[in-house]
Amino acid sequence: MQTGIPVARIELLDDVQMDACIRYSKLEGYQALPTLFFEFHGSEAGVREQSATMRAISDEFGGSEFQWATLPEDRTRLWKARHAAYYATLALKPGLTAIATDACVPISRLAECILATKADIEKSGLTVTIVGHVGDGNFHLVVLYQPGDAGQRERADALARAVSMRAIAMGGTCTGEHGIGWHKLDLLAQEHGEAVDLMRSIKRALDPQGIMNPGKTVPF
């Protein structure tokens, strides 16, 4: 972004997520390493220049081999694998279930946030994948745990909460896409403080009987 490269999409798959996608989507020739998926738009010459500049930046920071997909069917195969990331994660440990959470931080803090999250994952002892829309600082966790195992579920919830609290502390938000729902009601207050009272007043004015999506996002 600092060099003005107009990248259309930048997606991050951590090593565990990449391993899951390789297995699930049969991505031959790829390694289970933290991987960035780039998409460039424009003329052939423009795309060639953009991708060459991006490769130079990657090389400068120790990035490994680039693999190009210029044919429509090859691009489709890669993006299809990315979009199937959740199901690929479930396939890693058949019989386990998952909770998914997300957070968003300023791009300048993204690498720091993900590295700290990876350390939390290692401590948790759970199988977790990270996938992110890193062009806007947004990333997701899919946390696997054994159904009926209260201890594993507690660790999964604690991990999700830690990610949210870290994102807020870094000037970000506890959810980039998934929304507040039930599980992040207290985090909404952590992030917005007294503004939640204003949200609650507007909710009461528009829905005095509490029949619109009751109990979620901004409860009475």
pLDDT digits (tens, 9 = 90+) for 149-189: 999 999 999 999 999 999 999 999 999 999 898 889 999 99
**Are 50 and 7 in contact, with CB atoms under 8 Å apart?**
yes
Give the count of alpha carbons within 13 A of 61, CB side only.
6
Q: Rounded to the nearest 10 degrees, how much is the dihedral formed by the CA atoms of 33, 47, 73, 128?
A: 30
Give the residue ranges of DSSP H helices in 61-93. 72-83, 85-92
Instruction: Find residue 104's DSSP bridge partners.
Output: 138, 173
In the chain, the percentage of residues whose pLDDT exceeds 70 is 100
**Are 174 and 191 in contact, with CB atoms under 8 Å apart?**
yes
Q: Which amino acid is at 201?
A: S
Radius of gyration of the chain, Cα coordinates, nearest whole angstrom:
20
Number of residues that this document lists for the chain = 220
Domain annotation for the chain: domains and CATH numbers: 7-87 (no CATH), 93-206 (3.30.70.2740)
Q: How confident is the model at residue 4 (pLDDT cuts 50, 70, 90)?
A: confident
CA–CA gap between residue 52 and residue 39 (Å, rounded): 13
CA–CA gap between residue 102 and residue 151 (Å, rounded): 22
CA–CA gap between residue 4 and residue 7 (Å, rounded): 9
pTM score? 0.89
Burial label, 209 (beta-carbon count in 10 A; 0-12, 13-18, 19+): exposed
